Structure 1
Amino acid sequence: MSLSPARPFRPSRSLCIALALMPVLGVGTLAACDAARASASQERPVKVGLGSASGNPTVQAGDQLRVSADGGVLTAVTVTDPRGRQLVGGFSQGGTVWTSRAKAAPETKYSVLARTKSDDGATTEAKESLTTGKVAKRNRVSFSPRPRGGVVGVDDPIRLTFAFPIRDRGVVERRLSVITDNRSEGAWSWEPTHGGKDRIVWRPTHEWKPGTKVTVRAELNGVDSGDGRFFTKDYGLRFTVGRSAPVRSDLDSDAYITPGLGPTPALWQGPGG
């Protein structure tokens, strides 16, 4: 019995179609997966939260501001007040939390710009804002000398007297500065007053040079002076030191000449007075 020669294998038309479709379906599946991941990334952006470092969602005066990220990390955080001054801070917990080092000022609107990076590497930024609450107790400061015509005498120190006691004097002192146009040196010291109030005094190392232009800055807004009593604004003073001795007599006109103030009546008595 003879065997007929084997016929070559010829795949059916339906099988060819199935095989031909396999790579196409694979590419389509990958594209669909990519689209799904992109969609999932868009549906789950990094959530930025604001609150106080103590965990309270409401930020009060004296609190440290806390910025957090959910679903990613923070790459940069900038917090500014209406005057453009930044609230400095740092990152923790692997970059998911940023906390200010300085305390928030009362009744202040802060603008927050947070740049983030999601778990899948997408970057974005969020802009938020918050306003701190009002305070019930306030402190204030008064300056001395009070220049008349913008001029003071060469021996006048700078005095700041506070309406209420200062608990942490170092915090207040670091917010004070004296700037002169000739780089005059000096130092702050705390002195008692007759009324029991706290007072800080700045004296130049050497007597003021006549003509010196002086700027005093007390950037106290937001500082807790103690017992929850806050300063709610900054203070400043500008003056020029008189160009001669603080007081000298002018016998021809029977007057005293005070720099910047002009002649004032002299308390002059003749012989036997």
Structure 2
Amino acid sequence: MPLSHTRPPRPSRSLCVALALMPVLGVGGLAACDAARASASQERPVKPVKVGLGSADGQPTVQAGDRLRVSANGGVLTEVTVTDPLGRQLVGGFSQGGTVWTSRAKAAPDTKYSVLARTRDTQGTMSEAKESLTTGKVVKRNRLMLSPRPHGAVVGAADPISLTFAFPVQDRAAVERRLEVTTDDRTTGAWTWETAHHGKDRITWRPEQEWKAGTKVVLRAELNGVDSGGGRFFTKDYGLRFVVGRSAAVPAELDSDAYITPGLGLTPALWQGQGPGG
């Protein structure tokens, strides 16, 4: 008659505790308890880390001017990358033991952001999640007019670069951080804020010394999504290229739709009609 085989019973929790209190003779019993725990952990797989998106103030939707919040439930965040359609990243930092990432920059209006979040669960397993969200549309807008506005290929040697704003700029630092002037001869200069003769805010860049004739100048004002204060946003970027001449600039001749920017061709007018809530 064949021998019958029976599976040895798994040590109970109370037995494991009792064995742990025994002297060295109980080592074999403790090994059996460790094996039982390992088997039990394998039978109960760890749930994947859940990644959540929202605004820094806890709202599930992200409006223009909000700071984006990425959270991890069931683990920690090891890396977060948030990019807009142009590939520009929102810079941010971690908090709450790595379970929360919050952007330092404010989200732009009506923009679809792609989010890549790499995570680590409680067992050390690494994974990643890809999400996206679109911010709300802006209600109040700000705009600006650039100067000089060259009609030909050159501007005057004494002309500064000025940006005059349609509405007051309360957060001047946020605007100034997005402005950049570059030249082919490394001309140095600085921005200063002032009030235009019609009472509007204006920021002007002047070279430390007068422009040299023939200098090629590029202004980049990447203001799209910047809150100028009071929830009034810029909704586009601005740019200007020109060459410094030896004489005064030719007066610009603008129509209501477009003007010519040297090197850029026909450019939509930067001073447009007031939009909704503007």
Band the TM-score falls in, shorter-chain normalisation:
0.7 to 0.9
Please say if 1:184 is aligned against 2:194.
no
* 1:110 maps to which of 107, 110, 113: 113
* Structure-2 residue corresponding to 1:36: 43
Equivalence map 1:38-57=2 (5 Å): 40-41=45-46, 44-57=47-60
Kept in 2, the 8 Å contact 1:175–1:218? The answer is: yes
Q: Give me the identity figure in percent.
A: 70
Please say if 1:66 is aligned against 2:73.
no
* 2:138 maps to which of 129, 135, 139: 135
Please say if 1:212 is aligned against 2:215.
yes
Report the AA paired with residue 121 of structure 1.
Answer: G
* 1:146 maps to which of 149, 157, 160: 149
CA drift at 1:228? 1.1
Q: Distance in 1 between matches of 2:97 and 2:104?
A: 18
Worse-superposed segment, 161-170 or 149-158: 149-158
4+ long deviations beyond 3 Å: 28-35
* Structure-2 residue corresponding to 1:231: 234
* Structure-2 residue corresponding to 1:4: none
How many residue pairs match? The answer is 228
Kept in 1, the 8 Å contact 2:217–2:241? The answer is: yes
- Structure 1 gap ranges (5+): 1-11, 248-259, 261-273
Report the AA paired with residue 127 of structure 1.
Answer: K
Report the AA paired with residue 233 of structure 1.
Answer: K
Q: Distance in 1 between matches of 2:171 and 2:217?
A: 26
Q: Deviations over 1:112-164 (max 9, x none)?
A: 00000001111100000000000111001110111122321111110100000
Question: What CA RMSD, in Å, does the superposition of the two structures yield over aligned residues?
Answer: 2.5
* Structure-2 residue corresponding to 1:246: 248
SS of corresponding position for 1:116: strand
Q: Distance in 1 between matches of 2:5 and 2:59?
A: 65
Report the AA paired with residue 191 of structure 2.
Answer: W
Q: Distance in 2 between matches of 1:58 and 1:34?
A: 37
Query: Which has the greater radius of gyration?
Result: 1
Kept in 2, the 8 Å contact 1:224–1:230? The answer is: yes
Please say if 1:161 is aligned against 2:135.
no
* 2:81 maps to which of 75, 78, 81: 78
Q: Distance in 2 between matches of 1:165 and 1:17?
A: 87
CA drift at 1:209? 0.7
* TM-score, normalised relative to structure 2: 0.76
Q: Which has the higher contact order (CA 8 A, sep 6+)?
A: 2
Q: Distance in 2 between matches of 1:29 and 1:191?
A: 76
Cα distance change, pair 191–58 in 1 and its aligned pair in 2 (3 A) = same
Kept in 2, the 8 Å contact 1:105–1:132? The answer is: yes
* TM-score, normalised relative to structure 1: 0.77
CA drift at 1:31? 8.1
- Structure 2 gap ranges (5+): 10-31, 250-261, 263-278
* Structure-2 residue corresponding to 1:268: none
